[in-house]
Amino acid sequence: MKELMLQAEILWPAMAAGFLVIATHVPLGREVLQRGIIFLDLAIAQTAAFGVVLANTLWIGEHDDHQHLSTTGIAITAATAGSLILYAMRRLEVRLQESMIGILFVLMATGIILLLSSDPHGGEKLKEILVGQILWLQINDLLQLFVVYLLTLAIWFLGHDKLGEWLFYPLFAITITLSTQVVGVYLVFASLIIPSVATLRQKNSLPKAYGIGISGYLVGLILSALLDLPAGASIVWSLVMVAGLYFVLTGGVKARQLEQNPCHEGEAERSEVSQNSHQIAISLSLGKRHDPH
């Protein structure tokens, strides 16, 4: 019983952080899918992680709070700069955009490796960047996330239509930067894309995506506690399993193709009738040409 209470005491801040991450990442992930730039979030998360590592490498401070603020500021600056560069290329065709996003991701990923190459604890720090440290959050961390994410949601749902397309990129960069420091690069990508993909082209998709995200975090954290597994990786796999189960139970790819084009079968039938009529007309025309009378 004591062990169970101890696990609950550790897990509830992580679950609260998961709720906050899902609350902001689902609408942003839906926007990423609509824009067709799927790996934008991964590149921005990697850029934010590069900013964190760069700040930790260069910063020499006496106070931990001062150093944390400086690190976060440098990470946000790096992520925002990267997002604005990608925003400047938004009118290029999708293939070029995806190529540039891939190049940015590779540069940031290898930059992190170069910065950590001389650090004796570099491997552990790299793991922390990729899978996060969601189990070690404190109440102060949750309060900071809550305030920033609340502002993000307010701006997104109330003002993104009025303020224009440019708002998405810096808002996305700031949100992803904070999330990367909490849950890591992999879980940021999974939280943005998996719930949104599973509910793509469905009615009332937003609450459904929220349900998938929250369920994935809950199952992942429970499995992590029961099986003594890394929390971040467990949540990623749980998100995929929950989303996959939902995807199958709601008809899979076939159902979504029909939802994308519900008149597909009728159009196919009309096309076939039109082709047959065209063939009959050609046959009648040829017959008249060869008629001796």
Q: Considering the domain boundaries, does residue 195 fall inside one?
A: yes
Q: What is the mean pLDDT of residues 228-254?
A: 89
pLDDT at 223 over 80: yes
- Count Cβ atoms within 10 A of the Cβ of residue 88 and give its class: 0-12 exposed, 13-18 middle, 19 or more buried: exposed
Domain annotation covers residue 56: yes
Give yes or no for a contact between 116 and 77, defined as CB atoms under 8 angstroms apart: no
Count CA atoms within 13 Å of residue 187 on its CB side.
35
The count of structural domains within the chain is 1
Q: How many percent of the chain have pLDDT more than 90?
A: 24
pLDDT band at 272 (very low <50, low <70, confident <90, very high): very low
Contact 13, 140 (CB under 8 A): no
- Summarised one tens digit per residue, pLDDT across range 185-204 is 999 999 999 999 999 888 88
3-state secondary structure of 63: coil
**pTM for this entry:** 0.78
- When comparing pLDDT for 210 and 71, which is higher? 210
Q: Residue 237 and residue 216: Cα distance in Å, rounded?
A: 8
Contacts of 200 (CB under 8 A, 6+ apart): 33, 256
DSSP code, position 135: G
The answer to whether residue 132 sits within a structural domain is: yes
How confident is the model over 119-149, as pLDDT tens digits?
888 888 888 888 888 888 888 878 888 888 8
161 pLDDT more than 80: no
Q: Compute the distance between CA of residue 283 and CA of residue 266 in angstroms, rounded to an integer.
A: 26
Residue 112 maps to which CATH number?
1.10.3470.10
Banded pLDDT at 271 (limits 50, 70, 90):
very low
The answer as to whether 180 is a domain residue is: yes
Structure tokens at 286: 């040829």
**Residue 277 belongs to some domain of the structure:** no
* Assigned domain for 282 exists: no
Structural domain includes residue 230:
yes
Q: Does a structural domain hold residue 206?
A: yes
Q: What is the mean pLDDT of residues 37-50?
A: 84
For 94-103, what is each residue's pLDDT tens digit?
788 888 888 9
Q: Which residues constitute the domain of residue 256?
A: 2-262
CA 126 to centroid of chain Cα atoms = 20
Does the structure show a pLDDT above 60 at 110? yes
Rounded to an integer, what distance in angstroms lies between the CA atom of residue 99 and that of residue 40? 11
Q: First-to-last CA distance in the chain? A: 102
User: Which of the 8 DSSP states describes residue 250?
Assistant: T
Q: Which of 166, 158, 220 is nearest to 22 (CA)?
A: 220
pLDDT on residue 233: 92
